[in-house]
A and B are shown apart, each in its own frame.
Chain A
Amino acid sequence: MNCKSVQNRLSAYLDRELGGDELLQIRAHISTCRDCRAEADSLRALKCLLGGVSCPEPPEGLSDRLTANMMKLRHEEPRKTLRVSALMFASVTACSMLATLLIVNYGIGRHLNAPNSNGGQSGLGVASNANAEVLTTEPVGPVISVANFGPR
Chain B
Amino acid sequence: MIFSGVQERTTTVGDRLELFEGLIRDSYKPAYGLAYRLTGNAAEAEDLVQESFVRAYRFFHRYDESLPFTSWLYRIMTNAHIDSIRRRGRLRTTSLEAAGNDGSTTWDLPDLDASPDRQMLVNALDEPVQKALLSMTPEFRTAVLLADVEGLAYEEVAEIMKTSVGTVRSRIHRGRKQIRRHLLKHAPQTYRSFCDEL
- List residues of chain A with CB under 8 Å of any chain B CB: 8, 10-12, 15, 17, 42-59, 62-63, 65-67, 69-71, 73-74, 76, 78-81
Contacts and interface: CB of A to CB of B under 8 A. Distances in A.
Contacts of A17: 153-154, 165, 169
B113 interface: no
Contacts of B183: 46
B190 to A, nearest CB: 10
A55 B61 contact: no
A67 B30 CA distance: 16
Interface string B41-81: 01001100110011001110100000000000000000000
A11 B34 contact: no
Contacts, number: 125
B57 A80 contact: no
Q: Which 8 A-B pairs have the closest CB atoms?
A: A55-B33, A50-B148, A11-B173, A58-B32, A80-B61, A45-B195, A52-B122, A56-B36
A43 B123 CA distance: 19
B125 A79 contact: no
Given A17-B169, A66-B28, A70-B57, 8 more contacts: A11-B172, A43-B177, A50-B149, A52-B118, A70-B20, A74-B13, A79-B58, A81-B9
B167 to A, nearest CB: 12
Contacts of B179: 46, 50
B129 to A, nearest CB: 6
Nearest to B173: A11
B149 A55 contact: yes
A81 B29 CA distance: 31
Interface residues of B, number: 55
A11 B194 CA distance: 19
Majority secondary structure, B binding face: helix
A15 B172 contact: yes
A49 B118 CA distance: 9
B136 interface: no
A42 to B, nearest CB: 7
A66 B20 CA distance: 10
B24 A63 contact: yes
A69 B50 contact: yes
13 contacts: A11-B169, A15-B154, A17-B169, A43-B180, A44-B198, A51-B148, A55-B32, A55-B36, A55-B37, A59-B42, A59-B46, A63-B24, A67-B24
A51 B49 CA distance: 22
B129 A50 contact: yes
A43 B147 CA distance: 14
A81 to B, nearest CB: 8
Contact of A58 (B28, B118, B144, B195): B28
Nearest to A45: B195
B126 interface: yes
